[in-house]
Amino acid sequence: MKKTRWKETGLDILTDITASILIAVGVYNFALNANFPVAGFSGVAIIMYHLFGIPVGVGTIILNIPVTIFCYKFLGRIFLLKSLKTMIISSVFMDYVAPLLPVYDGSRLLAALCMGVLCGIGYAMIFMRGSSTGGQDFISVAIKKVKPHISLGMITAVQDVSTILLGSLLIFKDVDGFIYGIIVTYIMTLIMDKIMYGMDEGKMTLIVTEHGEKLSAQIDEFAGRGSTILKGMGSYSKREKDVIMCACNNKQMYMIKKMVHKLDPQAFTIIMESNEVVGEGFKEEIKEI
């Protein structure tokens, strides 16, 4: 048990180091010199850097101290300790490692793209280990606890846009910079979602038919996918129906759709996006730590 705990702690630290390098390079070596605002506490720290010359990593820690104290009762002990560890490591790499690397001095658009990708990967790695870099994440959790009816996405979006707008008005005074800031935020969110939820994305279909076994056999033959037959009943006709549930990739779904229409034109087919499929025939189930 103790050996497993040390192994997990070591993996947490290794992940923090790798992610911190990516985030530090994205912020310091791409965003800082490109003069566009970014979201989160990194964005506020960049504003402090331009106004008072405070290093970005130090500024992030300064901002996090009152937030951590205020939000302590809303955060779990393990999440808080993990986040403090990640926060310190990322700040050290921001102020002492990133300055050792060359700063990109080219296109602002390329700088925005590179920062979005690097930071998106870094933050996703940290979140997947049950940690965070503090700051805005702490505020979001606290607000969600107090106002549970407000979605976490809405809380984060308001904070992001506010920070970018603040940076644009106070420091850069540049409409293009505001647009670049929005682009960076969008790319980061997209990359994080793809890494955390979308690597195994595909389609899921529900087929309402009276020929469940026949269609299921054809789905297996044509697309190589198993399916589940659920029993249902038409609300108007009161007739028993088969509901076939099947998850597959986009190409297989196209084949299934054509096959169902050919064999049973009366079938009612619903096709939905599936961000991630875990289980037999797909990605292995993630074991509990």
**DSSP secondary structure, 3-22, as one string:** HHHHHHHHHHHHHHHHHHHH
d(CA 150, CA 58): 32
User: Percent helix, strand and coil across the chain, each rounded to 5?
Assistant: 65, 10, 20
Count the Cβ atoms, other than its own, within 10 Å of residue 91: 24
* Sequence ranges of the domains in the chain: 2-198, 202-274
Q: Which class would CATH give 202-274? A: alpha beta
With 0.75 as the threshold, say if the pTM is over it: no
| pLDDT tens, residue by residue, 202-232 | 788 899 998 889 898 888 877 777 888 999 8
Q: How confident is the model at residue 110, as a pLDDT?
A: 92
Task: Tell me the β-bridge partners of 271.
Answer: 205
- Full DSSP string of 199-261: TT-EEEEEEEES-HHHHHHHHHHHH----EEEEEE-TTT--EEEEEEEEE-HHHHHHHHHHHH
* Spans in the chain with pLDDT lower than 50: 286-289
C-beta separation of 126 from 133 below 8 A = yes
d(CA 111, CA 29): 9
Q: How confident is the model at residue 289, as a pLDDT?
A: 38
The one-letter code for the residue type at 113 is: L
Burial of 98 (0-12, 13-18, 19+ CB in 10 A): buried
Q: How confident is the model at residue 71, as a pLDDT?
A: 74
3-class DSSP assignment, residue 273: strand
C-beta separation of 207 from 260 below 8 A = yes
Q: How confident is the model at residue 65, as a pLDDT?
A: 85
